[in-house]
Chain A
Amino acid sequence: MSTSTDNNASITQESGPSAAVQDIQKKIVVRTADGEVFNLKEEVAMEIDIIKTFFQEDSISYETVMPLPNVEGWEMVKVIEYCTKHVELKHKVDGYKERKAFQALFVQNLSTKSLLALTNTANYLEVKYLLDFLCQAVSEQIKNKDVDYVRELFGVENDFNDEEYEQVKAEAPWAHENLNNDLH
């Protein structure tokens, strides 16, 4: 067991010759609701404010595994993916195209329900720029769509009765014209 202060060991301790291989980055370990364990690079973990606060405020040792009971494993994967990219692009001068391409890919295979779940998670984990991006992605899905489309997409029930609906629609009836409802 290495006790040297120079050695930034990963939590999974190694003995023998491989102990000499220094992990340059410290790791932080979290456990999600479904029991999955993730090792995060410190610089990525620090992007997630709830983790940052947990470890820094009370100077908790990185050996502690932080529980994240409100986060599913697949959500953690996505969050790590986004934060890692964000950290990487911080150091790039002209990362605009790459960021755009990455963002398009990131949401490409997510259903609306998962997008909403991920948005909630980004809020819980306190990753502001991810929350902002996900909200933008959600709004893109309902931009210029009509009422029925929005309800169906989000699985929202119409809790207006006929009269109430006519009343609220009458406040701006012209907004309901010329909409594009194609699913793309």
Chain B
Amino acid sequence: MKRKRKSIAYPTKVGNKDEHIEQMGPVITDLPKFICQIILLKLPTCSILICKCVCKTWRVLISDPEFAKMHFAQAEAYPMVRPWGPTRVSRTLYLVEPEDDFSLAIKDKDYLSDCDYGSLKFDKCHFRMNLAKYKLPLRDAEKVMNNDDNVNLMRNRKHGTKRMPCIKIRPNDHKYNVVNSCNGFLCLSEPIFNDPVVVCNPVTGEFMHLPEASKQENQKVTIHCGIGFSPKANRYKVVRIFDHGSPHPITMAEVHTLGSSSWKLIGSCPCSSYNQLAFPTYIEGALYWFYYDPLKYVILSFDLDSENFQSLPPLPFQREQYRNVSMGVLGNCLCVCDAHGIHINLWVLKNHGAKRSWRRKISIETDHSGFDGERWPSGLYKPMKYCKDGGLLMFNYRTNALIYHHPKTHRFIYLKLRGIKSKFSAISHVPSFISLKDILVGDDVNILNINSRCAQMKLLGETRALFLEEEIADLASDFFTSESSDED
């Protein structure tokens, strides 16, 4: 190819004080809007929130519902972890986002030459994950603010101290359970009976209270619930499963459409009052709960379009003593993870037209000592996501660690949560900028902001930094350390 190659004055890296550069090129705000959108959409969620503060143009661009829709269309689910202990009120959620595409890190960048790709050395892929902080509202914030001790703390603070006062609050009064996540919205419940009371979007900081459910006489039984999306109605709904009647209560369900003013009774629910439903999961227009019978595992399914309970094909394995079974979402399918002895099997629910069946998607033998000499911790595993490179990310409850495993290359990475001494819970969450205002049925609902009021104070242990550390899963390490009482 004939090409005139003059000596090109390459504008060099930032930091080189060449005046010629200053005149060159557009300011980013001069670029067409859709290019800015593309750039912003490639950022992790917390970086987008920061860009909102850069200038007015970007604030408008990011706050636009159109941007939220574009962002949601390409958003992925990520693990979201939360410190979970009986003595602690944690309103902090941590979204775990991979820092890069797990693309290969190139060694010796200074010696890159354009003709010799073959001899380039690639670093073993670094597995960096970002922990971005999000917050939940405090339950009964009024009570917190008006508590005498806290009022004094706030008053004393006004004398120029920069440090935020640290307040103590009782978990039973102020904690929320995170029930499940649906399209970026979280359903929160009060911790004693698990009654659903709030829906929030941790990224936008908005939340709303749900109307009071139908009063049931003296019910002191756990309630089961979850938030889901009905594609046909294009509405978000919260489902509440509770016991009704005495002396022999039957289990019933009611539904609330977000934005409406009340709950609608559905009818009876095909499970009994002594079943403990767990792992509420939303996927593709339906909500699922997992429980066990003396002999078998059962999954309860509720279709949000037809507002009916549906049966699922039985799981292809029996209930056994040392089985650890959990349920979650993997890819776009409902996934059941069975950890038993030296096997971890992941089963997904596949649709073949009207028929559905369980298919074993991934099978891992955990005594197989791969090239990394990995040691799989025992305990309950929860499937979290497929990474872009085809690897699997799971959360292990016993060791509070995220485990990455690639079924083909057998790469194994053990990432432990460090910095905060606590048990953790993990759910899969899709970060979204979609505003509650845009999804509600009516206009009547009061949408509050997580950050108002309680932002000026911090809770015990809140400023500790949490981070993920890649470690060797060594049997001698703290698998057996008891996670004792939380320190400050």
Contact = CB atoms under 8 A, between A and B. Distances in A.
Contacts of B53: 147, 160, 165, 168-169, 176
B24 A97 contact: no
Interface stretch (A1-9, A47-55, A58-66, A108-116): A108-116
Given A131-B35, A139-B43, A150 B51 contact: yes
B114 A105 contact: yes
Contact of A142 (B51, B109, B203, B204): B51
A156 B104 contact: no
A156 B451 contact: no
Contacts of B465: 178
B44 A144 contact: yes
B271 to A, nearest CB: 39
Contacts of A139: 39-40, 42-43, 47
A126 to B, nearest CB: 13
B468 to A, nearest CB: 13
Contacts of B215: none
A12 B11 CA distance: 32
Interface in A113-168: 113-114, 116-117, 119-120, 123, 131-132, 135-136, 138-139, 142-147, 150-151, 153-160, 164-165, 168
A57 interface: no
Given A109-B12, A123-B35, A139-B42, A104 B25 contact: no
Given A74-B8, A101-B120, A175-B46, A116 B28 contact: yes
Interface residues of B, number: 66
A142 B8 contact: no
Contacts of B24: 113-114, 117
Contact of B43 (A10, A108, A143, A183): A143
Contacts of B16: 111
B6 interface: yes
A151 B112 contact: no
Contacts of A41: 1
Contacts of A101: 106, 112, 117, 120
Interface of A: 10, 12, 27, 36-41, 44, 73-74, 77, 80, 84, 97-98, 100-102, 104-105, 108-114, 116-117, 119-120, 123, 131-132, 135-136, 138-139, 142-147, 150-151, 153-160, 164-165, 168-179, 183
7 nearest A-B pairs in the assembled complex, by CB-CB distance = A117-B25, A113-B25, A175-B49, A139-B42, A114-B11, A154-B28, A174-B133
9 contacts: A102-B117, A105-B114, A111-B11, A111-B14, A111-B16, A114-B25, A142-B51, A147-B53, A173-B455
Given A97-B120, A139-B47, A175-B132, 15 more contacts: A38-B3, A97-B104, A101-B106, A101-B120, A113-B11, A116-B27, A117-B25, A132-B38, A142-B47, A143-B99, A153-B14, A156-B28, A172-B451, A173-B451, A175-B46
